[in-house]
Amino acid sequence: MWAWQPALAEAVRRLKAAGIEDAAREGMLLLRAAYAGEGEAPVPFERLYAAPFPPAVAERFHRLAVRRARREPMAYLLGRREFYGLDLAVGPGVLVPRPETESLVEAALAVLPARRLTIVDVGTGSGAVALALAARGPAAWAVTAADVSPRALAVARANARRLGISLAGWYQGDLLPPGWWNAVVANLPYVAERERDQLPPELAWEPPEALFGGEDGLTVIRRLVAALPGTLTVPGWVLLEVAPDQVAAVNRLLAEAGLVPGPPRRDLAGRERVVWAERRT
């Protein structure tokens, strides 16, 4: 028996009792994180079998298991989340990047022309979309990250520095920075307020202003679309992550704003997830 095995068994029991479906996998991941230390990548699995179990690691592992049993997001406990091949730091006060948001990056890479463009990522959070576009898109793209939250922007800036990715600019403020933009990409809050009580308990730890978009989920998106005629160039593009059941409504908003919607882009689960439109006149 390895020295950490009883502690792992106890942690798995605790997580199962808290309703964690994959308790065994998460328990092992937390153990690997406890050996690594705060903010560091979890140690490789195979290293555990030659490792002692010192009191400091045992205490750190216990604290992590207790926090996860309270349904704190795993990304907050690990202090990091992988997004589009980038290792991003995340933490309380910042929305955890989701796999479905990678579809927004994919859509931008597919839809936007590979030439000089000024692009703004509105509601950048941890910087996930802006940094992915800057790292994976054409070198001619000039990407700016914008967010109303100073805390989120601080995390995004730190991620950019650590990853060695340069952005064209940073903007702290409500929605769009002043000026004209060739493209706007945004993962704005779009969860309907009426769905709050139906969501997984982990979401209660994330900033509600980054999740909830009013009664129908479209309050912030409406504001952004209304501002597009005064900030989007001709030609210009907008790409928005939305819930699958919001696609038709958002396409109507874009058409009413004088834009021409394209076919929605699907996420990894095959659901319509990204709406996009072009300003032609």
Binding residue ranges for S-adenosyl-L-methionine: 123-127, 147, 170, 187
Q: Which residue segments constitute the domains of the chain, with CATH numbers given?
A: 5-70 (no CATH), 81-279 (3.40.50.150)
User: CA-to-CA distance for 281 and 127, rounded, in angstroms?
Assistant: 31
Taking only the tens place, the pLDDT of each residue in 94-123 is: 999 999 999 999 999 999 999 999 999 999
Binding residue ranges: 123-127, 147, 170, 187
Q: What are phi and psi for residue 121, nearest 5 degrees? A: -100, 105
What's the pLDDT at 217?
97
Angle of helix 128-136 relative to helix 150-163, nearest 10 degrees, comes to: 30
Does position 77 have pLDDT exceeding 80, yes or no? yes
Does position 2 have pLDDT exceeding 90, yes or no? no
Q: Across-strand partners of 119? A: 143, 183
Q: What residue has token string 């910087």?
A: 127
Q: HSE (CB half, 13 Å, CA atoms) of 3?
A: 12
Reported pTM: 0.94
Taking only the tens place, the pLDDT of each residue in 120-140 is: 999 999 999 999 999 999 999
Q: Which residues contact 108 (CB under 8 A, 6 or more apart)?
A: 119, 129, 133, 137, 183, 185, 239
